Amino acid sequence: MRRATITTTHGDEDEAARVAAALAPDNTAEMATRVDGDAVVTTVDRKTTNGLRSTVDDYVVNCRVADRLGGDEERSTARTDDTPDTDTNT
């Protein structure tokens, strides 16, 4: 059995709980997610290295999306380097 543990921090316990709840529907039977303070901790067990890699890759993408969606108004409208410039008034 192969195992990976992924820990991400999200500012506070409420935000971590929100991210964990958003991730839960995509978890497989080989995954366990919990909130530990401001962190989301997920353990993935898979039989093969390739299966583990694939599951972890999918999880990281889902986690990034869950973290970016929601939160307070200031956070949800914050721009990042990969946000395209859509201002057409310039």
Going from N- to C-terminal start, the domains of the chain cover 2-71
**Residue 85: helix, strand or coil by DSSP?**
coil
What pTM did the predictor assign?
0.74
Maximum pairwise Cα distance, the chain:
56
pLDDT digits (tens, 9 = 90+) for 3-59: 999 999 999 999 999 999 999 999 999 999 999 999 999 999 999 999 999 999 999
Task: Domain 2-71: give its CATH architecture.
Answer: 2-Layer Sandwich (3.30)
